[in-house]
C-alpha cells in the first residue's frame, strides 16, 4: 500500500508505538477509596520490630494508608469504626517464597511438580493462582514474593489482575521465569530437552545471562530468581555477580535457589536472598551474615515433608537453629505447592510457623521475620510491614496472643489490605470485588 493513499498512516503507526505506555497508564494500581476514614480500635497493638505491646490504641486509615496511630487520636465524625478491642492487632504478614501458580496433585503427580508443569497450561494455573492468592490473603498474608514456576509469566498476569481489582489477593512481587543453567531443576531426556521450558529460562554463557535478565525485566519481573544448584554444572561466583549487576541496573534484586555448594557461591557473590539452603554448613551461614544475605529457608514442616515424600523437616529446623544463632538475617518464606483435603494455601502456609517454633525461635522474632525483615528483603519497607503513619493499611488481627504462642496466628479473623476490609469474621467486610465492574470503577 502507498502512503499517499493513507496520509494518516505514519501518525497511526506513531500512536501504535505509544500503545505500551497507554496500557501501562491504565494498569496503574486501583486507588482505594480516598475520602472515607476508618478508625480501628486496637486492644493490643503489637510492634513486630520490638515485640512491645501498646494497649488501647486507635489506628486511623484513609486512602488506603495509615494516617495516625496512638492512644488518643482525633476520629473525624462520620468515620467508620472497627472494634478490635479484644484482639491483638499487627501488620499484615509476608511470605517471601510463594508459588501461587503451582499446585501439585498427589494422586496424579505424586507431588512431582515436573509432571504438574507438563500437564497444566499457564491459563489453568493462573485460575488456580486466583484461588491460592485469595486464600493467602484471608489467612493474613497481605504481601508475597512469588518466586517463579508460574508457567509463561502467569505470575505477572495475576499481579496485574490484583492491582487492577479484577481479583482479590496480596500485594505481589514476581520473578517471571526462573533463570537456570541448561535443564533448570529438571532432568530432561535427549529427545525432549524442551520440556523444561518455559518453566525455566536457560542461560549458560555470560551473554545468555544478560539476555535472560533483560527478558524477565521486559515481561514484568520485579526481581530475578536463579538456580545455583541442581546440576553437575553450576554458576560460578562471577556468573552470579553478573546476574546481580545486570538485575541491579533495573533496580531488581537476585534470589538464589540452592541447597549446599551453590549456596556458598551465592553467598560469596552477595545475592539478596538464599532460598532453601537446607544443607548449608555454618561456614556458608557466616558468609551470609557478613554479606547481609537473607535466609528464606522454606523451612519445611513435618506435614510438608510427609507430603513431599522425604524428611526435609529435620535438616530445615537444624539449619534454621544454626542460622538464628549465628545471626543471619531471616525472612519467612514457605514454598508450599502441595494441596491437602480440608486445607487451603493460606492455612498450609501459616503452618510453617511450627518449624520456627521447633527451632526455638521466640515468637517476637518470628513475627519480625514475617513482617519487617521480609519487607526489607523485598525492598518495600518504606511502604509496608509496619503499623505507622504513612504506611499502607495492611492490618490483621487475632483473638489470642501471638507473642505468648505463635500458633495464635492460625486464628486470623480480620484482614485489611490497602484499607479494604477483606475479612472480618465478627463484623462487616467491604464489598467483594466483582470482576469488570470493580476493575472499571477502580480506574
Ligand atoms: Zn520454591
Phi/psi-derived region of residue 435, left when phi > 0, alpha when psi is between -120 and 50, beta in every other case = left
Span from the CA of 206 to the centroid of ligand 1 (angstroms)? 25
353 with 292, same domain: the answer is yes
Q: Is residue 240 a contact partner of residue 256, using CB atoms and an 8 Å limit?
A: yes
The pLDDT assigned to 16 comes to 47
pLDDT of residue 246: 98
Mutual angle of helices 313-326 and 282-290, in 10-degree steps = 50
The answer to whether 75 and 81 are in contact (CB under 8 A) is: yes
Instruction: Report residue 191: phi and psi, to 5°.
Output: -80, -15
Ligand 1 centre and the CA of 432: distance in Å? 30
Q: H or E segment at 138?
A: helix 122-138
Distance 68 CA to ligand 1 centre (A): 37
Question: Looking at the structure, do residues 257 and 116 belong to the same domain, yes or no?
Answer: yes
Q: 198 preceded by cis ω (within 30°)?
A: yes
Q: Is residue 126 part of a domain?
A: yes
CATH number at 101 reads 3.20.20.140
Note whether 399 and 330 are same-domain residues: no
Domain end call among 378, 402, 425: 378
Distance 387 CA to ligand 1 centre (A): 29
CA 148 to ligand 1 centroid distance, Å:
7
103 and 169 in a single domain? The answer is yes
Residues with Cβ within 8 Å of residue 47, at least 6 apart in sequence: 53, 54, 387
> How much distance in Å is there from the Cα of 194 to the middle of ligand 1?
21
pLDDT value of residue 437: 58
The CA 147 to ligand 1 mean position distance, Å, reads 6
64 C-alpha to ligand 1 centroid (Å) = 31
**pLDDT given at position 115:** 94
- What Å distances lie between residue 103 and 38, 57, 353, CA to CA? 37, 40, 21
pLDDT score recorded for residue 7: 44
CA 336 to centroid of ligand 1, rounded, Å: 8
CA of 61 to the centre of ligand 1 (A): 35
Q: What is the pLDDT of residue 35?
A: 73
Distance 251 CA to ligand 1 centre (A): 22
Q: What separation in Å is there between the alpha carbon of 272 and the centre of ligand 1?
A: 16
Under a CB-based contact definition with an 8 Å cutoff, are residues 239 and 231 in contact?
no
DSSP character for 204? -
How far apart are the CA of 423 and the centre of ligand 1, in A? 27
208 CA distance to ligand 1 middle (Å): 23
Could you tell me the distance, in angstroms and rounded to a whole number, from the CA of residue 149 to the centre of ligand 1?
8
Angle separating helix axes 237-249 and 261-269, nearest 10 degrees: 50
Let me know whether 340 and 288 are in one domain. yes
pTM assigned to the model: 0.91
Instruction: Assess if residue 7 is contained within a domain.
Output: no
Alpha-carbon dihedral of residues 317, 320, 326, 332, nearest 10 degrees?
-160
For residue 5, being part of any structural domain is answered with no
Count: domains in the chain: 2
- The range of the structural domain enclosing residue 76 comes to 37-92+387-442
| CA–centroid distance, residue 246 to ligand 1 (Å) | 23
Alpha carbon dihedral 220, 154, 258, 406, in 10-degree steps, equals: 100
Per-residue pLDDT of the chain (443 residues; tens, 9 = 90+): 444 444 444 444 444 454 444 444 444 455 445 578 999 999 999 999 999 999 999 999 999 999 999 999 999 999 999 999 999 999 999 999 999 999 999 899 988 999 999 999 999 999 999 999 999 999 999 999 999 999 999 999 999 999 999 999 999 999 999 999 999 999 999 999 999 999 999 999 999 999 999 999 999 999 999 999 999 999 999 999 999 999 999 999 999 999 988 999 999 999 999 999 999 999 999 999 999 999 999 999 999 999 988 999 999 999 999 999 999 999 999 999 999 999 999 999 999 999 999 999 999 999 999 999 999 999 999 999 999 999 999 999 999 999 999 999 999 999 999 999 999 999 999 988 777 656 555 54
Are residue 369 and residue 392 in the same domain, yes or no? no
Amino acid at each position: 500500500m502507498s502512503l499517499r493513499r493513507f496520509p494518516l498512516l505514519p501518525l497511526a503507526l506513531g500512536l501504535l508505538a505509544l500503545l505500551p505506555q497507554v496500557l501501562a497508564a491504565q494498569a496503574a494500581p486501583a486507588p482505594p477509596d480516598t475520602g472515607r476514614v476508618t478508625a480501628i480500635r486496637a486492644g493490643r497493638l503489637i510492634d513486630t520490630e520490638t515485640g512491645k505491646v501498646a494497649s488501647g490504641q486507635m489506628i486511623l486509615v484513609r486512602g488506603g494508608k495509615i494516617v495516625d496511630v496512638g492512644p488518643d487520636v482525633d476520629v473525624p465524625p462520620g468515620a467508620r469504626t472497627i472494634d478490635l478491642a479484644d484482639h491483638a492487632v499487627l501488620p499484615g504478614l509476608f511470605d517471601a517464597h510463594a508459588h501461587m501458580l503451582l499446585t501439585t496433585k498427589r494422586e496424579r503427580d505424586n507431588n512431582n511438580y515436573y509432571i504438574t508443569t507438563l500437564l497444566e497450561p499457564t491459563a489453568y494455573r493462573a485460575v488456580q493462582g486466583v484461588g491460592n492468592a485469595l486464600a493467602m490473603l484471608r489467612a493474613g498474608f497481605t504481601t508475597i514474593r512469588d518466586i517463579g514456576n508460574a508457567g509463561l509469566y502467569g505470575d505477572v498476569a495475576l499481579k496485574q489482575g490484583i492491582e487492577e481489582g479484577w481479583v482479590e489477593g496480596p500485594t505481589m512481587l514476581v520473578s517471571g521465569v526462573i533463570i537456570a543453567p541448561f535443564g533448570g531443576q529438571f532432568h530432561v531426556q535427549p529427545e525432549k530437552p524442551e520440556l523444561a521450558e518455559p518453566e525455566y529460562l536457560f542461560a549458560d554463557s555470560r551473554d545468555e545471562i544478560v539476555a535472560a535478565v533483560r527478558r524477565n525485566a521486559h515481561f514484568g519481573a520485579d526481581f530475578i530468581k536463579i538456580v545455583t544448584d541442581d546440576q553437575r554444572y553450576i554458576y560460578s561466583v562471577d556468573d552470579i555477580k553478573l546476574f546481580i549487576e545486570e538485575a541491579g541496573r533495573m533496580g531488581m534484586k537476585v534470589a538464589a535457589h540452592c541447597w549446599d555448594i551453590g549456596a556458598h557461591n551465592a553467598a560469596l557473590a552477595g545475592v539478596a536472598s538464599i532460598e532453601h539452603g537446607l544443607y548449608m554448613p555454618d561456614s556458608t551461614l557466616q558468609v551470609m551474615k557478613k554479606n547481609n544475605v537473607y535466609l528464606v529457608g522454606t523451612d519445611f514442616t513435618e506435614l510438608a515433608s510427609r507430603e513431599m515424600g522425604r524428611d526435609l523437616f529435620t535438616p530445615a529446623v537444624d539449619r534454621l537453629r544454626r542460622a538464628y544463632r549465628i545471626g543471619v538475617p531471616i525472612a519467612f518464606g514457605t514454598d508450599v505447592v502441595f494441596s491437602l483435603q480440608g486445607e487451603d494455601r493460606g492455612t498450609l502456609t501459616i503452618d510453617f510457623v511450627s518449624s520456627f517454633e521447633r527451632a526455638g525461635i521466640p515468637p517476637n522474632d518470628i513475627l519480625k521475620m514475617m513482617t519487617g525483615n521480609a519487607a526489607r528483603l523485598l525492598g518495600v519497607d518504606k511502604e509496608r510491614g509496619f503499623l505507622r503513619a504513612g504506611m499502607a493499611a495492611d492490618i490483621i488481627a487475632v483473638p489470642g496472643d501471638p507473642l505468648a504462642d505463635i500458633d495464635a496466628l492460625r486464628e486470623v479473623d480480620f484482614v485489611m489490605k490497602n484499607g479494604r476490609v477483606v475479612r472480618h469474621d465478627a463484623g462487616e467486610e467491604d464489598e467483594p470485588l466483582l470482576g469488570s465492574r470493580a476493575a472499571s470503577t477502580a480506574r
